[in-house]
Amino acid sequence: MARTVAVVPHTHWDREWYQPFQTFRLRLVDLLDDLLPRLEADPSYARFLLDGQMAVVDDYLELRPRAEEQLRRLGASGRLSMGPWYVLMDEFCVSGETIVRDLQFGLERAAAFGGAMEVGYLPDMFGHVAQMPQILRAAGFEHAVVWRGVPSAVDRTGFWWSAPDGSTVRAEYLPVGYGNGAAMPDDAKALVARIRAHEQEVADLLVDGMLWMNGTDHQTPQPWLGRVVAEANALQDDYHIAITSLAEYLASAPTEALPSWQGELRSGARANLLMGVASNRVDVKQAAARTERALERRAEPLSALFLPPDRWPHAELTLAWKEVIRNSAHDSSCACSADEVVDAVLHRYADARQVGEGLARKALRGLAYSLAEAGAYVVNPSARARGGVVQLLVPEIGPIDGTQVVFARQASTEVFDLTGGELNMVLGRIRNDEIAAGCDVVAVEAEDTDGGYEVVLTTGVRRRSSADAALSDLYAQAGARRTSPVRLRVEREPFQVVLARVNEVPGYGWLRWEPEPLQSPVSVDGLVMDNGVVRVEVSPTDGTFSVNGLAGLDRLVDDGDDGDTYNYSPPAQDVVVDRPVVVDVTVVESGPVRARLRITRHYQWPERVVDGARAGERAIDVVSVLELRAGEDIVCVETTLDNTCRDHRLRAWFPLPSAAEVSRAECAFAVVERGLTAEGGPHEYGLPTFPSRRFVSAGGLTLAHEGLLEYELVDGGRALALTLLRCTGKLSGTDMAYRPWPAGPPFPVEGAQMQGPQVLRYAVRASDGDPYALVDDVFLPLEVATAPGGGDLPPAGSALSVQGGEVSAVVRRGGALEVRVFNPSSEDTVVTVEGHTGWLVDLRGRPLEPFDGSFSLRPWGIATAHLDG
Ligand SMILES: [Zn+2]
């Protein structure tokens, strides 16, 4: 019987990569200007796959708005496959929530063009997260298409791929990638010969038919496609060659006797995984972490819960998410790109983060004005009830029980003789803190006297709700006296900035702050910080520290890197520096709420790699500030350095309480286990460096970090190494020890050398405990809101209680609250959403089942709950 050869014409469109977005877009416009009329004129060019991402459509329509109707026609007729993604993201360099939003955004956009392709098309991602089958099933998909990452244990072009919760899709495996049929010969005989050769190449893997992906990176359509396929069919009987779509091909793809695989796909057995993208351009990874946190953990939940439903900032969040989603593209978030591209990525992240932080501030202000009693309130932006250290402005000078003074300012009075116009300028800048010095204007008095207009502004901590209106009135009054004399007296009430530990604030709740005695205060004695829970001692000889006797933590190990943005690769002659020349330690803060020690380590590092050998020398000072807070078992570290060395990798090593065979790292909606080795292949050395989203645990120790994705179990599992910096000068190298062939163009990229100041934030806990709680405690601190009084909310309360799972998102959809939660464990759980009924919905918002107050969630399950209004 003839073997089916399913030809899927397509192009793989990296929106930005070795060239910037606009440069590639001009080529995209040319491609679609050519393709769309061709499809309408030539029925034999039966199908085209628009790379599974709607961004391609939007990028085109922005310049060719009149083509919308044509695209809609071709989409609705099935000639053109669009979506389901908005962009082809990387799955490890972004959060699970970004992956979900990417899919939702793509599905929503594709709906305007006749609907999305019902296939989880994942052609070029640098490996696949364990939960991808569950994400796809939750959007109604039964199929995935994958290339990189598939292990040697999968020995067929089709396999059952399961997520940790058991959700399974049929995965079509492209063993030599998405371009196996890119170069379609213009000659029928040559095409048949090419198909025969490819059949032999993948013979052992073939399940039945052969998928012939006719396209590759930025490839334009080959106009002879329909003709040459017809001629090749007429020429022989061994193959039935059909131009089709992925969805049509997969609908009848064999499902019998397929191998199975559960969990993530991170093997380099048959294709490069390119695991080193997790550690290049740490600035991009840090920006991603901060931006996703600003949106997912602050702007969205705070706006959803503390603002009236009709003030949900839909447009602002859509704008911000669109930037984050665009950045999630595999060449963008992975930063294996030209410097101009990385600049654009950083700019998009900054834009989105600014929106997120601004929305969070607005929501906190909304809460502040809703509270009945004036005062300082501690607000918890996470679902779990928890305590923590906050920084507060208080209207007293002098010791306050249980607090630590950071800064104090005595009462003062200043008098300025101005004109009304000058007063207006001053008033315009009050929000910029020039007058208020960190406080608010709390009272305004103004009167006309014989000597002119006299104004008294009182600044202080106790916000009064009448002050805002009085300031607006004063602004108008001053405007009416532009050239007249005005005497301004600024009365500054005394205040101080204090640190205080709050013992427990309800999840998504608030609590009016009152001084209380400090439990487990932290103290400093020489090189030791101790809070009664943990004792941290710095070694004066090498600058490492110990936690409760576990010594040698944060040993900095600097080695050479002769690789590129895709892969670490050791130089032929490496020099490894793991000891400083001199160490200085100073006390920055000595408690009782927060203690900080500054460790300055002076190193001599080789300057660069020349002809495969580390050469030269540079004096580098690395400054690490260790922080221990009252009542906590976490040591926070902020390491800074001015990097003037090139071609190197800097890692922080953490000896483990007990040797580990496995690590457990956060990836999208899961904690995944990895061992001490990784599967490589002829194209790439199996380097066992792995990505973690925000934390990794091994041997009784947990590291939390902000964008420091790459780790490795080293020293036979006795230590965990966290990559702080990886500096190389090539987009893609050639002939590298760990990867013989290029992964992209061999362009120099100066930005990837990470020259200049670097700030790296991480934290260590040398005991067991919930790692999700740890990352919140370190990177999602309790917030403070100052209430003027006059609202109706009580001094303590909670806007939403979600127990029994890890909350991934709180948003408003159609005015109602929607909560996404997952079960980060291998045990069943019951998720309680106190006082709420609603429906569990899928990722397209389609109802699955109703719930009343609670619902059960399978191990590693993800659920989206739409709450009744
Ligand atoms: Zn790509």
CA of 284 to the centre of ligand 1 (A): 18
Using alpha carbons only, give the angle 572, 573, 574 rounded to the nearest 5 degrees.
110
CA of 709 to the centre of ligand 1 (A): 21
Answer whether 0.95 is exceeded by the pTM.
yes
From 695, 781, 782, 766, select the one nearest 533 (Cα to Cα): 766
Cα–Cα distance between 152 and 136 in angstroms, integer? 23
**Which residues line ion ligand 1, judged by CB < 5 Å?**
14, 124
CA of 202 to the centre of ligand 1 (A): 22
Using alpha carbons only, give the angle 178, 182, 186 rounded to the nearest 5 degrees.
160
CA of 13 to the centre of ligand 1 (A): 7
- The crossing angle, in degrees rounded to 10, of helices 188-201 and 225-235 is 80
CA of 16 to the centre of ligand 1 (A): 9
pLDDT at 426: 87
pLDDT at 626: 98
Q: Which residues pair with 535 in a beta bridge?
A: 530
CA of 146 to the centre of ligand 1 (A): 12
CA of 329 to the centre of ligand 1 (A): 8
pLDDT at 437: 65
What is the DSSP code string of 32-93? HHHHHHHHHH-TTS--EE-TTBTHHHHHHHTT-GGGHHHHHHHHHTTSEE--SBSS-B-SSS
CA of 20 to the centre of ligand 1 (A): 14
Backbone angles phi, psi at 293, to 5 degrees: -65, -45
CA of 176 to the centre of ligand 1 (A): 14
pLDDT at 431: 56
CA of 444 to the centre of ligand 1 (A): 60
Half-sphere exposure of 510 (CA within 13 A, CB side): 28
pLDDT at 465: 67
Cα–Cα distance between 76 and 623 in angstroms, integer? 59
CA of 228 to the centre of ligand 1 (A): 28
Cα–Cα distance between 836 and 487 in angstroms, integer? 57
Beta-carbon contacts of 38 under 8 Å, excluding residues fewer than 6 positions away, are: 45, 221, 223
CA of 281 to the centre of ligand 1 (A): 18
CA of 35 to the centre of ligand 1 (A): 20
From 504, 391, 513, 508, select the one nearest 787 (Cα to Cα): 513
pLDDT at 542: 97
CA of 646 to the centre of ligand 1 (A): 27
Length of the chain (residues)? 869
Q: Element (H or E) spanning 229, and its range?
A: helix 225-235
CA of 49 to the centre of ligand 1 (A): 15
CA of 511 to the centre of ligand 1 (A): 49
pLDDT at 117: 98
From 521, 488, 101, select the one nearest 324 (Cα to Cα): 101
> Long-range contacts made by residues 199-202, C-beta under 8 angstroms, separation at least 24?
199/3, 201/176, 202/157, 202/175, 202/176
CA of 88 to the centre of ligand 1 (A): 8
CA of 126 to the centre of ligand 1 (A): 9
CA of 356 to the centre of ligand 1 (A): 29
pLDDT at 186: 95
Half-sphere exposure of 639 (CA within 13 A, CB side): 25
Mean pLDDT for each consecutive 10-residue tract of the chain (869 residues)?
95 98 98 96 96 98 98 96 98 98 98 97 98 98 98 98 98 97 95 96 92 96 95 97 98 95 98 98 98 98 98 98 98 98 98 98 96 96 98 89 93 93 86 65 89 90 78 91 93 93 97 94 98 98 98 98 98 98 98 98 98 97 98 97 98 98 98 98 97 98 98 98 98 96 96 98 95 98 94 98 98 97 98 98 98 98 95
Tokens of 278: 């997790």
Largest CA distance in the chain: 108
Beta-carbon contacts of 41 under 8 Å, excluding residues fewer than 6 positions away, are: none
CA of 17 to the centre of ligand 1 (A): 8
pLDDT at 139: 98
pLDDT at 436: 65
Cα–Cα distance between 299 and 41 in angstroms, integer? 49
CA of 124 to the centre of ligand 1 (A): 5
CA of 803 to the centre of ligand 1 (A): 40
E strands, 742-805, in order: 756-765, 783-787, 796-798, 802-803
- The crossing angle, in degrees rounded to 10, of helices 466-479 and 420-429 is 150
From 617, 763, 647, 624, select the one nearest 703 (Cα to Cα): 763
pLDDT at 562: 98
CA of 602 to the centre of ligand 1 (A): 41
